[in-house]
Amino acid sequence: MSYLVFPRVRVQAANMLAASFLMGGPPVFAAYGLGEALCFHLGGGAKVTGMALIHHNREALGQSFYGVFSPQQRRAAAFTFGKSANGSDYSSKNPHALSLQPVACTHLHVSIIWELEQVSDVTEARDFLHGARLSGGLVTGHGEIVFENSLKAAFDRVGNGYVVKDRRDMLENKAKNQAELLVEALGAKPVAGEDNTWLSATCLGYAAITPFEHRGGARGGYTHAFAEPLVGMVQYRSLRQWLKEADAEEALWRPVWLDDRLGAFVLRQEQTELEDM
């Protein structure tokens, strides 16, 4: 294994709309997907087997009034149209009014470490990442992109920050609906000694809602399926404290197919053994 360090990445206007009902949260799945895109670009059997995300800072684009955040909105490229035959479409009295494109964006400062197989050409990896996008945002700066032979050395390159930790253990109470447990945990007042501080929710995978098949417009001629995001619980943990208390490898998010038939694909860390949901 080799570890590719993409340190101190500054991202402009990244998407933070993790699902139609969820804003914010660290871009775990997007960071993993960037590693997959890198391996696809490199070819030659390159494969990403794990990913660690370290958070440094986030600046949400919008305004807050009395504790309520309102994200900046953008005008779309299309005009608003008149009502359709069934009267379902939005219409405006102004025929030249541009429609709105619902978005929620943020500036990000993160570091990413990928565990890779069959990759050793750091120059080609650098060339790809220089022009990359993370969660739809433009990469405007970063530290030196390097390969390391150990995960500990890779973390040393990052220095500090907050490891994004898998907290699916907080949702394993079978007596309650997992969505209820998620909302309760996020809204609970932090209590000393209970390890329930700095919690967040984010997209950790996708579940197919249609069969995989060839469809018009799909990229590269691959089979395609419509999917919905799978939201999970995560926690920000100090990197320095993490390395004192836990095995460095436990910070790696790894891909798991929960159900080949249904097409549920998620990212998980392996510090706890839980049954597949």
Cβ atoms 111, 134 nearer than 8 A: no
- Region 80-91 average pLDDT: 55
Cβ atoms 69, 63 nearer than 8 A: yes
Nearest Cα to Cα of residue 122 among 157, 159, 164, 163: 157
Is the pLDDT confidence value at 82 over 90? Answer: no
What is the widest separation between alpha-carbon atoms in the chain? 65
Q: Which two tokens stand for residue 37?
A: 């895109």
What pLDDT does residue 77 have?
A: 66
What pLDDT does residue 219 have?
A: 82
Is the pLDDT confidence value at 80 over 70? Answer: no
- Region 46-57 average pLDDT: 96
Residue range 245-268, pLDDT digits in tens: 888 889 999 999 887 666 899 999
Cβ atoms 53, 110 nearer than 8 A: yes
Residue range 147-183, pLDDT digits in tens: 999 999 999 999 999 999 999 999 987 788 888 999 9
Q: What is the DSSP letter of 198?
A: S
Q: Tokens 């460095």 identify what position?
A: 248
Higher pLDDT residue, 172 or 112?
Answer: 112
What pLDDT does residue 275 have?
A: 38
Nearest Cα to Cα of residue 141 among 109, 105, 171: 109
Complete DSSP assignment for 53-122: EEEEEEEESEEEETTEEEE--EEEEEE-----TTS-S---S-TTPEEEE---EEEEEEEEEEEEES---H
Cα 252 from Cα 113, distance rounded (Å): 8
What's the whole-model pTM score?
Answer: 0.86
The upper half-sphere exposure of residue 193, i.e. CA atoms within 13 Å in the direction of its Cβ, equals 0
Domain boundaries, the chain: 2-63+103-268
What pLDDT does residue 85 have?
A: 53
Cβ atoms 11, 115 nearer than 8 A: no
Query: Average pLDDT of the chain?
Result: 87
What pLDDT does residue 134 have?
A: 96
Cβ atoms 245, 237 nearer than 8 A: no
Q: In this structure, what is the dihedral angle of CA atoms 117, 221, 224, 23, given to the nearest 10 degrees? A: 60
- Region 222-241 average pLDDT: 93
Q: What amino acid is encoded at 23 in this protein?
A: M
What pLDDT does residue 269 have?
A: 94
Residue range 25-41, pLDDT digits in tens: 999 999 999 999 999 99
Cβ atoms 156, 54 nearer than 8 A: no
Cβ atoms 206, 226 nearer than 8 A: no
Cβ atoms 75, 99 nearer than 8 A: yes
Q: How confident is the model at residue 112 (pLDDT cuts 50, 70, 90)?
A: very high
- When mean pLDDT is compared across 101-105, 216-220, 238-242, 270-274, the lowest value belongs to 270-274
Cα-to-chain-centroid distance, residue 256: 15
Residue range 188-230, pLDDT digits in tens: 888 877 888 999 999 999 999 998 899 988 888 889 999 999 9
Cα 47 from Cα 37, distance rounded (Å): 10
What pLDDT does residue 255 have?
A: 94
What pLDDT does residue 18 have?
A: 87
Is the pLDDT confidence value at 83 over 60? Answer: no
What pLDDT does residue 75 have?
A: 72
